[in-house]
Amino acid sequence: MSKNSTAGYDTIPTTTYLPSQSSPKTVIARARYHTEKFIARCRPWREFFDYTTITRPLSYEDINHRIKQNLNYFQVNYAMGILLILFLSLIYKPISMIMFLICGLGFFWGR
């Protein structure tokens, strides 16, 4: 064992990690990438609306299993449907669009 060897315990790093500021272009590019990735997981709408595959569940546990499996399998389709309904409701009631924007701005401004 040598006197000059150190285990590395005597040095303490003095730099701190500071996250880099993202430019608007990289934020938009990342948002676009994640949106395209999310939409790519959308299942076919014919499969989503195929009522011939529905059968009667056998038990309460079967109901829970089917609901969880269906929500997991079609989660993007459900999200797109909810966003469409939200979009249409905001168009037909302009005051709700204004309130939605005020709440959104308040949320981001208050962070």
Cα–Cα dist 65/73, whole Å: 12
Residue 49 DSSP class: T
pTM to 2 decimals? 0.57
Dump pLDDT digits (tens) for 75-96.
999 999 988 988 888 788 888 8
- pLDDT category at 98 given cuts 50, 70, 90 is confident
Cα–Cα dist 23/20, whole Å: 9
* Side-chain-side CA neighbours of residue 106 (13 Å): 6
Cα–Cα dist 75/82, whole Å: 11
Q: Would you state the pLDDT for residue 64?
A: 94
- pLDDT category at 31 given cuts 50, 70, 90 is confident
Cα–Cα dist 86/110, whole Å: 24
